Structure 1
């Protein structure tokens, strides 16, 4: 599918068929393009459209390059990132003859919100370069929202770890298992976001160099520099979140160890408490003919009392020492 946009009074407006007004088109957005659509765009702008396999290359030279005076830039962007499940895929931006071409195979939120906003209000979109900068700013804003949501989720996990209200061991075990799963999902999310920010850092640096080379307007260069600083600040905040995730993982594993140690302590204390009564019962269970208490009327209550007291004394001692 191809979405074509023209500029009218510094506002974007989508048109139905870019063949009708080819000279006025400033942005062509290719979403999962077919081979015929790629050929149509290549014939219109005389620019080779990268294939999906080329977009997925991880080498910087394959993601950021200049060809025949046209700038090709690829970044990894998230989509469907409201929860921990998201789609990470590359998006290619091509600046060719003051026009912007985007090639993508998924639906990042910025590609929906930015055209709607640029159609309603004037955002300074006059050519492909200004549209690209505005689109990248929307992408960074979206990443900031995702990182902020991830931070809130990490704070909730922290509260659940250190302020657990469960009293039953079985319930706590289930909670710890759930927490480990949540921590794992948050770690995967932040790792993917870090990869995305790293690709945007390289892209913004490359775009800034291109703007300086082509002597773009001062406003555009300033916006690109601000964009680069925003990406760096988000990367720093994401590093903090990753450190916090590592701390929460260690804390959760420590809590599990404490729970296991508590269970072992209970069994150890129980074994010590029941050891003296077992000794008394074993003594009176021996089959000797001559036992003073054997024919005594109070022999049985005496043995029961001895077993009770021998178990109660260690229990009270452990309780007083704070071991229970």
Structure 2
């Protein structure tokens, strides 16, 4: 299958530079680790893909774990040729920007998951950095697993779980399960942090007389949507790993994957709930702002009304007519002032009674 031409090859723009002018970065620059596991134990030292293959062939058992970090086409093609990886997988691994999914190519599985990282909103300058996502791709064969990460922060799992002999004995799929389990656990941790933020926003919005920033609610709404889009499709991939491909995934590992899927579904529902709550908060915030504006307008109208009454009285008594009542009255001025104060007092009492002030 590796020799079948890809239908997407003709769609790629050709490199305008001549072949001899292209700079090819050695494949070793993209390899983070290349280890060999035999009989549940990690063999000492690092390997190249070629020497790792020779070692596994020599033992007649075991598997290889290669970790790659953002390989380019040349680097990924070199590794693919060593492990006979389908060229469609190579194309996806180089381009990245894949949604979580599971695909099978003959006896190989290609799994894509998204990593999610959270930073407190007070720690970032660009508010779009609160939730950041990366991509983790796993190519699983009979005696190898290749992990490819793009903007994803992962510990060096080949070393951290190399001492877990029971897990290593289960083969490459067990390593993939461990990566997925770690990613989903991180989803849960971020879900707890988001729950605290959403609770604070709710308290801020619904506390009487509080000043709140609706922009902050929109900001978290956008970040929660980004996380939702990153993790939601993973449940379909996990379900496919549980239900299908039983010739490649043992019953025991399917049980482990089922547990990961359960945790992922819980986090998925939580994030969807956060999205709904934030939508409700936006609606409540808009309603609260509108009510506050209406109250402010009533207060302003009441004040303008109280100022208008004295102005009207002063306007009447300021007209230049010879024959006007009280025009030459000695108590005319005190009476006009008293009338103004009386009218303002009556209006103030009426507005207060109707809660306009």
SS in 1 for 2:256: helix
**1:29/1:276 Cα in 2 relative to 1: closer, same or farther (>3 Å)?**
same
Alpha-carbon separation, structure 1, partners of 2:209 and 2:354 = 26
**Alpha-carbon deviation of 1:262?**
1.4
Answer yes or no: is 1:46 the counterpart of 2:123: no
Question: 176, 188, 204: which one pairs with 1:132?
Answer: 176
Instruction: Say if 1:13 and 1:119, in contact at 8 Å, map to a contact too.
Output: no
SS in 2 for 1:94: strand
Instruction: Say if 1:144 and 1:234, in contact at 8 Å, map to a contact too.
Output: yes
Residue pairs, 1:102-113, within 5 angstroms: 102-108=147-153, 111-112=154-155
**1:123/1:146 Cα in 2 relative to 1: closer, same or farther (>3 Å)?**
farther
TM-score normalised by length of structure 1: 0.83
Answer yes or no: is 1:295 the counterpart of 2:328: yes
**1:267/1:116 Cα in 2 relative to 1: closer, same or farther (>3 Å)?**
farther
Residue 306 (structure 2) aligns with: 273
CA deviation map 1:272-304 (0-9, x unaligned): 222322221122111121334333333212211
CA deviation map 1:20-60 (0-9, x unaligned): 443265321111113443233223212135225664356x9
Answer yes or no: is 1:206 the counterpart of 2:240: yes
Question: 143, 146, 164: which one pairs with 1:98?
Answer: 143
Residue pairs, 1:32-111, within 5 angstroms: 32-48=70-86, 49-51=89-91, 52=93, 55-56=96-97, 63-78=101-116, 80-83=117-120, 85=129, 86-108=131-153, 111=154
Alpha-carbon separation, structure 2, partners of 1:82 and 1:8 = 39
**1:115/1:307 Cα in 2 relative to 1: closer, same or farther (>3 Å)?**
farther
Residue 161 (structure 1) aligns with: 205
CA deviation map 1:143-179 (0-9, x unaligned): 111122112111111122122665xxxxx4xx4xxx3
Instruction: Tell me whether 191-200 or 18-27 shows the greater mean CA deviation.
Output: 18-27
Residue 142 (structure 1) aligns with: 186
**1:116/1:309 Cα in 2 relative to 1: closer, same or farther (>3 Å)?**
farther
SS in 1 for 2:290: helix
CA deviation map 1:217-252 (0-9, x unaligned): 332111111112221121111221111011110111
**1:13/1:253 Cα in 2 relative to 1: closer, same or farther (>3 Å)?**
farther
Question: 215, 224, 229: which one pairs with 1:195?
Answer: 229
Which ranges in structure 2 are unaligned for 5 or more consecutive residues?
Answer: 1-29, 57-61, 121-127
Higher helix share: 1
Instruction: Say if 1:201 and 1:232, in contact at 8 Å, map to a contact too.
Output: yes
TM-score normalised by length of structure 2: 0.76
**1:289/1:104 Cα in 2 relative to 1: closer, same or farther (>3 Å)?**
same
Residue pairs, 1:3-14, within 5 angstroms: 3-7=33-37, 10=40
Residue 13 (structure 2) aligns with: none
SS in 1 for 2:113: strand
**Alpha-carbon deviation of 1:117?**
3.9
Instruction: Tell me whether 254-263 or 285-294 shows the greater mean CA deviation.
Output: 285-294
Instruction: Tell me whether 236-245 or 202-211 shows the greater mean CA deviation.
Output: 202-211
Which ranges in structure 1 are unaligned for 5 or more consecutive residues?
Answer: 167-171
**Alpha-carbon deviation of 1:201?**
1.0
Alpha-carbon separation, structure 1, partners of 2:345 and 2:325 = 25
SS in 1 for 2:85: coil
Alpha-carbon separation, structure 2, partners of 1:116 and 1:180 = 46
**1:269/1:8 Cα in 2 relative to 1: closer, same or farther (>3 Å)?**
farther
